[in-house]
A and B are shown apart, each in its own frame.
Chain A
Amino acid sequence: MSDLTTKTLIDMRDALATGAVTAEAAVQACLGRVAATEPRIDALLSVQAEAALARARELDAAGPAPDKPLWGVPVIVKDVLCAKGAPTTCGSRILENFVPPFDATAVARLKDAGAIILAKANMDEFAMGSSTENSAYKVTKNPWDLSRVPGGSSGGSGAAVAACQCFATLGTDTGGSIRLPAAFCGCVGLKPSYGRVSRFGMVAYGSSLDQIGPLARTVADAAQVLSVIAGHDPRDSTSVDAPAPDYMAALKGLSGLKGLRIGLPREYWGEGVEPEILRACRTAIDAAVDAGATVVDVSLPHTRYAIATYYIVAMAEASSNLARFDGVRYGHRNRQAAELLDMYKRSRTEGFGDEVQRRIIIGTYVLSSGYYDAYYKKAAQVRRLIRQDFLDAYATCDVICGPTCPVPAFPIGGVVDDPLKMYLMDIFTISLNLAGLPGMSLPVGLGADSGLPVGLQIFGQSFKEDALLAAAHGLEALTPALPEPAGLA
């Protein structure tokens, strides 16, 4: 039975499609795995076991559908995504009992493709964090070392995939929140170009930065999920009205590496990165070169301003996006308040954790009268320069590579009391969201000193996820497969 859960998504999908495995068996296997691992990793906020089984039985009764590429495949989605009829808490007390009457578009597309939503994954509250320690409900443990964080904010999604609780998860990425957990948990994570996947139903954090994307165990798995969720949505004005190419076909093409020009930004490969990380990433690049790729030295000179830029933009947008949590129409309301202003203040103060409150305050401040030009407008100007850095670099290379994070998964409690230090974890991931470009994190081995997974980032060009996936697929073939996560042995 446990063999089923270690399959890749593609293999599982194929087994289901031929009838070798029933949907119900797939769901039961995953639920069993959830039961076995949850006490140790706490990746999930809610499990929709009955609904999943009922859905599986429905699907089995109708039989496999060849036009549904995820028929019968159990998946888990981050609790920031609305799933109709299921609790959606965003890791926050302020939405403790919120049950949306609609599905996020990405979730609806998974369902339409035959996937079965098994559970909602833990996350940093409102996607604000890099370790999942900011969840109001529980701290997720890294399956590779239960005393360490899984990364954030999609930590539950990363841990669930690494622990084989399901075959893929949906996470969201605003400043690295898919890629960092993917790196820390040793799996593949993909952030699409801004506008590639509909944001409708994703509870907004940084609206001009947010994207939904897959975490999975292989590049092909991620490509399959992306092909289901990508595409124009008339309910999202920022979603691009261009058809998504066939990502699976892109993988079948010639090796993604021959003739591939890989840009290495000097700002990502220098000081401040743990030696074991540099070494593992360099080894992967060398293997790519052996397979026919070339390396190009590039520079992304505004990298050092990226974090400040990101946080101004993200916090400003977040402060406005979170204003709707006021206890009037849904979510937590303080019942003792006898008067409206009091009700607002107490409900929001009780409902939001410290990190969220900090970001709301900073965001409100940078937008407030007198500060807009100095902060928000200024950040938007620097944002254009950061984007231009990438566009300039792509004149001489096809993809850009660098470590996902300067350090491997850090100990739980080790960084969380130092907000600024936590923000600096995002140094390599953040620019991509500002530029709106696509990128992935790929596991390239275990660190020689820590024994923890190391992630290599690959950045692609605007709406060229097919080329990105092809390159990643090529690299994946050259890197050693990871063993089972040590923390669950």
Chain B
Amino acid sequence: MAEYEAVIGLEVHAQLTTNTKLFCACPTRFGDGPNENVCPVCAGMPGVLPVMNDRALEYACKMAMAIDATINLTSIFARKNYFYPDLPKGYQISQYEQPLCEHGRVEIETAAGTKTVGVTRIHMEEDAGKNIHSSTENKSFVDLNRCGVPLIEIVSEPDMRSSEEAVAYLKELRSILVYLGVCDGNMEEGSFRCDANVSVRRKGDKNFGTRAEIKNVNSFRNVQRAIDYEIGRHIDCIEDGEAIVQETRLFDANKGVTQSMRGKEEAHDYRYFPDPDLVPVRVEPSWIERWRGELPELPAAKRERFIAKYGLPEYDAGVLTAEREVADYFEAAVGVHPEPKKIANWIMSELMRELNECGESIRGCRLRPEGLAKLVRIIDSGAISGKIGKQIFGDLFRSGEDPEAYIAAKGLAQISDAGALDAVVDEVLAACPGEVARYKAGEKKLTGFFVGQIMQKTKGQANPKLVGELLAAKLG
């Protein structure tokens, strides 16, 4: 394995979150009934003509700027001709020669440090509709709601050398798109799609090996599995002296293997030519400057800032900035209670766990940043213990109640009254003479036992620090 090197390039199709389709004014809204968001233009009726959505152009250019790509001031829409029921005109309006953007780059973090992955190009194109195959009849059902939705296709250079790098690149790319607000990055729903081109060569070899394209991978985990499988398959072929066929393969998530589409796929001759119904797209430099001013702080910059400003370790900064909404939540909470490391911990452990369990996003979370910040402040003040804080977190998460009110209502205030605690400690020690004797004989570990007993008696509300001090004083 060590003598081989994998070469991976990725093609991402991202659906833009514009209100309307790329070439007509139909809504791009998800979830409406079949063919309800369709008009003669996106249905490819005779005589219709495309007119470009200006916000799609803006979004594509903003992505280009976010990855330092060059925006071509003039670019051309081209027709990609093929027949399929979900492609009403019998061609897709895309870009071929002279795409909108070229030569960008994305920085990723790998085990070996930071690496730059090149982006060859970004171009605009329209999405196809959906073809649903019946399992019972010899029929397919065509829904054109998605037909015409704007996409940007982002093509990377074949710079990645492992599935980990590939996933890191995808995650960063997705994060940038979501930060910009141009794509919602949902792999399961298909608004962020990835095809991987994989080949293998002997280390040191300047030539590329034959590559295979893997389609139909709908999660980061599956991208990783599919690429790993494919690399292994290529190596096996090379070792066995078998030729690798340049082809398209599908990843079967259940079996964990890629399968050839041979026989189903035929070589396409797309017969690209400039679309005569559209004039060349011209971008004014003044628009680019305006859009540049509208770019939000991007993930990499935010990570750096979190490390510098909040003194967070790289790992924490990475987790908190993976989603812009989480980063915003964090900063709002720190604004209320300036303890960044503690707030970070609570978000990364408790909040994330609750969100994952109920499958919700932080946007709809009832526990707002102010609430979480308050909880941490209350714990820091000693009013309740961290342990109790964790116990009640679930309730606060679900109800969004004010933590102070909740604690007061449930009478959970930590017992920090030295006098009261003193009495409880005495009670416990008196009830366990055997353990006391063993402790004094050297079994210092029994501290935990005593603490446990005290906590039981106080329903977990004893101030642990005080308990510790009192025990130490009484036991010696």
Interface size, chain A (Cβ < 8 Å): 45
* A330 and B48 form a contact (CB under 8 A): no
A100, A202, A344, A369: which contacts B269 (Cβ < 8 A)? A369
Which residues of B are at the interface with A, using a C-beta cutoff of 8 A?
40, 43-52, 79, 81, 83, 85, 88-91, 138, 140, 142, 269, 271-273, 276-279
Residues in B with CB closer than 8 Å to A133 are none
State how many angstroms separate the Cβ of B410 from the closest Cβ of chain A.
63
Which of B52, B79, B88, B138 is in CB contact (< 8 Å) with A329?
B88
Pick from A316, A323, A344: contact of B273, CB under 8 Å: A316
The distance in angstroms between the C-alpha atoms of A101 and B46, with both chains bound, is: 11
Are the C-beta atoms of A323 and B89 separated by less than 8 Å?
Answer: yes
Stretch among A213-221, A230-238, A416-424 lining the B interface: A230-238
A372 and B273 in contact (CB under 8 A), knowing A237-B52, A324-B89?
yes
Cα distance, A328 to B276, chains bound together (Å)? 24
**Mostly helix, strand, loop or mixed at chain B's interface?**
loop
Contacting residues, chain A, for B45 (C-beta < 8 A)? 100, 102, 324, 329-330
Q: Are A320 and B277 in contact (CB under 8 A)?
A: no
Using Cβ atoms and an 8 Å threshold, which residues of chain A touch B88? 324, 328-329
Cβ contact within 8 Å between A323 and B140: no
Tell me if A24 is interfacial: C-beta within 8 Å of chain B: no
Interface pair B47/A328, CB less than 8 Å apart:
no
**Structural contact, A204 and B85, CB atoms closer than 8 A:** no
Contact pick for B46, options A95, A207, A344, A367, CB 8 Å:
A95
In angstroms, Cα B41 to Cα A237, docked, is 13
Say yes or no for A144: interface residue by CB 8 A criterion. no
Known: A324-B88, A376-B273. A237 touches B49 (CB 8 A): yes
> Known contacts being A320-B90, A324-B90, A369-B269, is A235 close to B276, with CB within 8 Å?
no
A interface residues, Cβ below 8 angstroms from B: 81-82, 88, 90, 95, 98, 100-102, 104, 199-204, 207-208, 234-238, 316-317, 319-320, 322-326, 328-330, 338-340, 344, 364, 367-369, 372, 376
- Residue of B47, B90, B272 touching A323 (CB-CB under 8 A): B90
> Within the complex, which residue of A98, A236, A340 is in contact with B140, where a contact is CB–CB below 8 Å?
A340
| Contact status of A98 and B273, CB under 8 A, knowing A323-B83, A340-B85 | no
Bound together, the chains give a CA A317 to CA B45 distance in angstroms of 16
Residue numbers in B under 8 Å from A234 (CB-CB) = 51
The reply to whether B271 and A320 form a contact with Cβ atoms under 8 Å apart is yes
- Chain B's nearest CB lies how many Å from the CB of A420? 24
* Whole-angstrom CA separation of A317 from B271 in the bound complex: 11
Determine if B51 and A199 form an interchain contact, defined as CB atoms under 8 angstroms apart: no
Query: Can you name the residue of chain B whose Cβ is closest to the Cβ of A103?
Result: B47
CA distance A325 to B88 in the complex (A): 9
Bound Cα distance from A329 to B46, whole angstroms: 11
Among A202, A338, A372, the residue within 8 A (CB) of B47 is: A202
A202: chain B residues at CB < 8 Å are 47
**Can you add 18 more A-B contacts, CB < 8 Å, to A102-B45, A330-B46?**
A100-B40, A100-B45, A200-B47, A200-B48, A202-B47, A204-B46, A207-B277, A235-B49, A238-B277, A238-B279, A316-B273, A320-B81, A323-B89, A324-B45, A328-B85, A329-B88, A344-B83, A372-B272
Do A367 and B278 have beta carbons less than 8 Å apart? no
In the complex, the chain A residue whose C-beta lies closest to that of B38 is A329
Among B43, B83, B142, B271: residue with most chain A CB under 10 A: B271
- Which B-chain residue is minimally distant from A380 (CB atoms)? B274
Chain A residue nearest in CB terms to B267:
A369
Hey, which chain A residues are within 8 Å of B271, CB to CB? 319-320, 364, 367-369, 372
Residue of B at shortest CB range from A102?
A: B40
Show 16 residue pairs from A and B whose CB-CB distance is below 8 angstroms, ordered by the A residue.
A90-B46, A100-B40, A100-B45, A204-B277, A236-B49, A316-B273, A319-B271, A320-B91, A320-B273, A323-B83, A323-B90, A324-B44, A324-B90, A329-B43, A367-B273, A372-B273
Q: How far is the CB of B154 from chain A (nearest CB, A)?
A: 25
Contact of A237 among B43, B46, B140, B278 (CB under 8 A): B278
* Residues of the B chain whose Cβ atoms lie less than 8 Å from the Cβ of A90: 46
| Chain A nearest CB, measured from B387 CB (Å) | 64
Chain B nearest CB, measured from A237 CB (Å): 5
Residue from B46, B88, B90 whose CB has the most chain A CB atoms within 10 Å: B46
**Which residues from chain B contact A325 at a C-beta distance below 8 Å?**
46
A3: min CB distance to chain B, Å: 37
Interchain CB contact under 8 A, A317 and B276: yes
Residues on the B chain within 8 Å of A328, using CB: 85, 88, 142
Q: Which residues of A contact B272 (CB under 8 A)?
A: 372
Q: Which residue of A lies closest to B41 (CB)?
A: A235
Contact status B278-A323, CB under 8 Å: no
What residues on B are CB-neighbors of A199 within 8 Å? 47, 49
When chains A and B are docked, how far (Å) is the Cα of A348 from the Cα of B440? 97
Q: Provide the residues of chain B in CB contact with A236, threshold 8 Å.
A: 49, 51
- Return chain A residues, CB-CB under 8 Å to B47: 81-82, 100, 104, 199-204
- For the complex formed, measure the closest distance between the CB of A440 and the CB atoms of chain B, giving whole angstroms: 24
Least CB distance, A489 to chain B, in whole angstroms: 38
Smallest CB gap from A100: residue in B: B45
Find chain B residues with CB under 8 A from A201 CB.
Answer: 47-48
Q: Complex Cα distance A34/B83, Å? A: 42
State whether B138 touches A338 (Cβ < 8 A). yes
On chain B, the residues within 8 Å of A367 by CB distance are: 81, 271, 273
